[in-house]
C-alpha cells in the first residue's frame, strides 16, 4: 500500500505519523456498498466456517446469511418498508446478529436499545423513532409491552418478533449457574394488544420473498441513541457508510483476517460492540465468540477453549479476569490483540499484561456519534492511559471551546473530529445537530464535548469533559436523564445527580435529593434506591442518596451541580 500524506495537512498534525503502523496507509477507501453485502460476501467466501459461537452452539456464515434472509422476508410481510425503524432489544446472542442484518436486508433501520432499560425509559424508543415493529427477547418483552401500553394508541408497536435465548444454546452448554434459569427457560411468548406477535422459529419459517435490497452508502442504517446534558436521549443518524468505514478500519488496524477468533462481550446495542466486534468480524469472515453478559470465569474458559486471538473490552473486565482465583487455569496464550476504551487502563494492570503475555493494551476513544473509534493507539506503539492518535482517514484538533481557535501543543481544549465515520446528525433534532458541528479550516468538525491535549508525538489525552457525564465502568451515565426519571417519584421535589469516586468502577452515581414536605421523615434513602432500580437501567441507578433541605442555585435559578460535584470531590480527597 502507498503511504500518502493528505494534501494540505500541516506538519503539526503529522507528528503521530512517526508511530503509524508501517503496514497501513493513512487513509482507506471502504466498499461503496451497504453493510448487508459484507455478510453476503463472507457467506459466499466462507459458507461452512463458524461465524458465531454461543456457548456450545455454532452458526456458520451460510446459516447466518439464510436466517437473516428469512427474517427480512418476515419483516417485509409484516409491513416493514424501506427506511422504517425497527427496535432491536435483547442481550448479546446469535439472534441479535441475525436480527440486525435482517433489518438491514429489509432496507430498514436498526434501533438498538439497551436491554437494561425499564419501561419508563423504553417509551422514548418507541415514540421518538416512530417504531412500529420490534425484535425482542422474551424475557424483556414484558417491559417493552408495559412501555407500549403507556404510549398514545396511534404511536404504538403493531408487531413483535420474540426470540428465546434457550433456542440458541445446546443441552451441554457451559452456562454459569447464576444464568441457567434466565438462559435455559423458554419464556412465554406474550400477546400484543392491538397487534400481532410471532416467535423466532415462526418468523424464520417465512416463505414470502425478501424485498430487493436497494440500500446505498448514504442511506440511514442504524439509529443508536445517546444521552446528553439535557432531556431525553437523541438518535444518532448513521448511514451505511460511517459504520462501513470503521468496520473496515478496525479490521485492518487489528490485523483482521478470516482466521481471527474474536471474543465479543462488549454489548452489541453499544456502538463499540456493534462496529468493532460484529461488523468488523463479519467483514473479514472471522469467528465471533459471544457472551451475553460479563462473567470472568466464562471469559477465561471461552478464550482457552476457542483460542481467542482478539479481544476488545473495557478495562474493568481485564482487571476482573486477572483477579480471578482460577486465573492460572486459563490459557490466554492465543491472544495477539487486546484493547478497548470507556475508561483508562490502570498502568499496573497494563504492565502485568505485558509481562505475562507480551500484550500491549491498546486504548481507543470514540463516541456514538463517531461510530466507535475516532482515535486509537497504534498496536505496536501504544501509550498508557492515552486515547491514541486520530484513526484512519480521520483528522482531529484541540481548540478553545469558546473562541474555537486551535490550542498550542500540550494545552487543554475541546477535541473536535472530522472523518468519514462521523454521523450525519441527530434524529429530529436540527438545533442539536447544528450545535454539534463547527466549520474549521473549511471542513465540518464534530464537537466531542471532551477536553483533551496533544503531546509532542501527536497522541491525545483526556483531561476533563465539557459535557456533564458520569463514566461508570465504561457505561456513560447522563445526570439529566437520571434526574428526569427520578422526578417521577412522588416524594422527590428536586434532585441533582453527581459522580462519586469508585475504586473499581471509576465513578458511581450519587443523587442529592430534596424531598417534598409531605414525605420528609417518612421516606428513606433506601426506598429511593429501590425505586430507582425498578424504573431505570441498573448502571444508571444511584449507588447512594443524600437528603438535603435545598439545592444550591445560581441567580437565574439553575441548580449549581458543579458546586455539589466539587464538594463531593473534596470530601473524597483524603480517602484517595
Residue 12's pLDDT is 43
List strand residue ranges (DSSP E) for 175-233, in order.
Answer: 196-199, 220-222, 225-226
> Do 476 and 410 reside in the same domain of the chain?
no
In a domain, 190, yes or no: yes
> Do 476 and 425 reside in the same domain of the chain?
no
- pLDDT of 7 > 60? The answer is no
d(CA 437, CA 399): 13
pTM of the full structure: 0.87
- 310 backbone dihedrals φ, ψ, rounded to 5°: -130, 130
Nearest C-alpha neighbor of 176 from the set 324, 56, 295 = 295
Residue 556's pLDDT is 56
Write out pLDDT tens, residues 190-241: 999 999 999 999 999 999 999 999 999 999 999 999 976 667 899 999 999 9
Written as nine digits, the cell of 47 is 459458507
In a domain, 424, yes or no: yes
Residue 230's pLDDT is 65
> Do 534 and 399 reside in the same domain of the chain?
no
Binned at pLDDT 50, 70 and 90, residue 6 comes out as: very low
In a domain, 495, yes or no: yes
In a domain, 123, yes or no: yes
> Do 527 and 400 reside in the same domain of the chain?
no
Cβ contact 24:392 at 8 Å? yes
Written as nine digits, the cell of 564 is 455539589
Write out pLDDT tens, residues 398-434: 999 999 999 999 999 999 999 999 999 999 999 999 9
CATH at 561? 3.30.300.30
CATH at 59? 3.40.50.980
Cβ contact 128:164 at 8 Å? no
> Do 459 and 477 reside in the same domain of the chain?
no
> Do 475 and 558 reside in the same domain of the chain?
yes
> Do 82 and 167 reside in the same domain of the chain?
yes
List strand residue ranges (DSSP E) for 332-459, in order.
Answer: 337-340, 362-367, 372-376, 389-390, 395-399, 413-418, 425-426, 437-440, 443-454
Give percent of the chain above pLDDT 70. 95
Count of all residues that appear for the chain in the document: 576
Write out pLDDT tens, residues 43-79: 999 999 999 999 989 999 999 999 999 999 999 999 9
> Do 205 and 125 reside in the same domain of the chain?
yes
> Do 445 and 539 reside in the same domain of the chain?
no
Residue 156's pLDDT is 96
Write out pLDDT tens, residues 495-550: 999 999 887 778 899 999 999 889 999 999 999 999 999 999 999 999 999 999 99
Cβ contact 43:61 at 8 Å? yes
Question: Which range of residues forms the domain containing residue 406?
Answer: 393-465
CATH at 437? 2.30.38.10
Domain termination residue (choose one: 407, 442, 465): 465
In a domain, 372, yes or no: no
Residue 170's pLDDT is 82
> Do 419 and 537 reside in the same domain of the chain?
no
Domain termination residue (choose one: 161, 187, 215): 215
In a domain, 343, yes or no: no
Domain termination residue (choose one: 163, 190, 215): 215
Residue where the block lists cell 432489544: 89
- pLDDT of 110 > 90? The answer is yes
When pLDDT is averaged across residues 443-456 and rounded to a whole number, the result is 95
Binned at pLDDT 50, 70 and 90, residue 557 comes out as: low
Q: Exposed, middle or buried: residue 151 (CB in 10 Å: 0-12, 13-18, 19+)?
A: middle
> Do 60 and 183 reside in the same domain of the chain?
yes
Count structural domains, the chain: 3
Helices 94-105 and 36-45, packing angle to 10 deg: 110
Cβ contact 454:460 at 8 Å? yes
Choose the weakest-confidence range: 75-89, 366-380, 531-545, 549-563. Answer: 549-563
> Do 434 and 556 reside in the same domain of the chain?
no
3-state secondary structure 133-157: EEEEEHHHHHHHHHHHHCCCHHHCC
In a domain, 83, yes or no: yes
> Taking the chain, what is the end-to-end CA distance rounded to the nearest angstrom?
49
In a domain, 489, yes or no: yes
Half-sphere exposure of 470 (CA within 13 A, CB side): 30
Dihedral sign of CA atoms 379, 381, 382, 388 in order? negative
Cβ contact 333:356 at 8 Å? no
Amino acid at each position: 500500500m502507498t503511504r500518502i500524506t493528505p494534501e494540505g495537512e500541516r506538519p503539526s498534525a503529522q507528528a503521530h505519523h512517526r508511530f503509524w503502523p508501517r503496514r497501513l496507509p493513512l487513509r482507506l477507501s471502504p466498499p461503496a456498498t451497504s453493510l448487508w453485502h459484507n455478510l453476503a460476501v463472507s457467506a459466499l467466501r466462507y459458507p461452512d466456517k463458524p461465524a458465531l459461537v454461543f456457548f456450545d452452539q455454532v452458526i456458520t456464515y451460510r446459516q447466518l446469511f439464510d436466517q437473516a434472509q428469512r427474517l427480512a422476508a418476515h419483516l417485509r410481510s409484516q409491513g416493514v418498508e424501506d427506511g422504517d425503524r425497527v427496535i432491536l432489544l435483547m442481550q448479546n446472542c446469535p439472534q441479535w446478529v441475525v436480527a440486525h442484518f435482517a433489518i438491514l436486508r429489509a432496507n430498514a433501520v436498526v434501533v438498538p436499545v439497551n436491554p437494561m432499560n425499564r419501561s419508563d425509559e423504553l417509551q422514548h424508543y418507541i415514540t421518538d423513532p416512530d417504531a412500529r415493529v420490534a425484535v425482542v427477547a422474551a424475557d424483556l418483552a414484558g417491559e417493552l409491552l408495559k412501555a407500549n401500553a403507556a404510549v398514545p394508541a396511534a404511536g404504538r408497536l403493531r408487531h413483535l418478533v420474540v426470540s428465546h435465548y434457550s433456542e440458541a444454546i445446546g443441552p451441554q452448554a457451559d452456562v454459569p449457574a447464576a444464568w441457567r434459569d434466565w438462559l435455559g427457560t423458554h419464556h412465554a411468548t406474550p400477546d400484543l394488544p392491538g397487534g400481532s406477535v410471532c416467535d423466532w422459529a415462526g418468523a424464520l419459517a417465512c416463505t414470502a420473498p425478501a424485498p430487493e435490497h436497494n440500500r446505498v452508502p448514504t442511506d440511514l442504517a442504524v439509529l443508536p441513541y445517546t444521552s446528553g446534558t439535557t432531556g431525553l436521549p437523541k438518535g444518532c443518524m448513521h448511514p451505511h457508510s460511517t459504520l462501513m468505514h470503521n468496520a473496515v478500519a478496525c479490521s485492518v488496524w487489528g490485523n483482521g483476517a478470516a482466521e481471527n477468533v474474536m471474543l465479543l462481550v462488549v454489548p452489541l446495542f453499544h456502538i463499540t460492540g456493534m462496529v468493532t466486534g460484529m461488523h468488523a468480524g463479519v467483514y473479514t469472515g472471522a469467528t465471533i465468540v459471544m457472551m451475553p453478559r460479563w462473567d470472568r470465569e466464562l471469559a477465561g474458559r471461552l478464550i482457552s477453549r476457542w483460542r481467542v486471538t482478539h479481544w476488545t473490552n473495557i478495562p474493568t473486565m481485564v482487571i476482573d479476569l486477572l483477579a480471578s482465583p482460577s486465573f492460572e487455569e486459563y490459557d490466554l496464550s492465543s491472544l495477539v490483540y487486546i484493547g478497548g476504551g470507556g475508561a483508562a487502563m490502570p498502568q499496573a494492570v497494563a504492565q502485568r499484561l505485558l509481562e505475562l503475555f507480551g500484550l500491549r493494551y491498546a486504548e481507543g476513544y470514540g463516541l456514538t456519534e463517531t461510530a466507535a473509534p475516532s482515535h486509537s493507539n497504534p498496536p505496536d506503539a501504544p501509550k498508557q492511559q492515552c486515547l491514541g492518535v486520530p484513526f484512519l482517514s480521520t483528522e482531529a484538533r484541540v481548540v478553545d471551546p469558546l473562541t474555537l481557535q486551535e490550542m498550542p501543543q500540550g494545552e487543554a481544549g475541546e477535541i473536535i473530529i472530522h472523518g468519514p465515520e462521523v454521523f450525519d446528525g441527530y434524529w429530529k433534532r436540527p438545533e442539536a445537530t447544528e450545535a454539534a458541528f463547527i466549520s474549521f479550516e473549511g471542513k465540518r468538525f464534530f464537537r466531542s464535548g471532551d477536553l483533551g491535549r496533544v503531546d509532542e508525538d501527536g497522541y491525545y489525552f483526556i483531561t476533563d469533559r465539557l459535557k456533564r457525564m458520569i463514566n461508570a465502568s465504561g457505561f456513560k451515565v447522563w445526570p439529566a436523564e437520571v434526574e428526569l426519571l427520578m422526578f417521577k417519584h412522588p416524594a422527590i421535589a428536586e434532585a441533582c445527580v453527581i459522580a462519586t469516586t469508585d475504586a473499581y468502577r471509576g465513578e458511581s452515581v450519587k443523587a442529592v435529593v430534596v424531598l417534598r414536605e409531605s414525605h420528609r421523615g417518612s421516606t428513606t434513602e433506601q426506598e429511593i434506591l429501590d425505586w430507582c432500580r425498578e424504573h431505570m437501567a441498573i448502571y444508571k441507578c444511584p449507588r447512594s442518596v443524600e437528603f438535603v433541605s435545598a439545592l444550591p442555585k445560581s441567580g437565574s435559578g439553575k441548580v449549581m451541580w458543579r458546586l455539589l460535584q466539587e464538594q463531593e470531590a473534596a470530601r473524597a480527597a483524603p480517602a484517595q
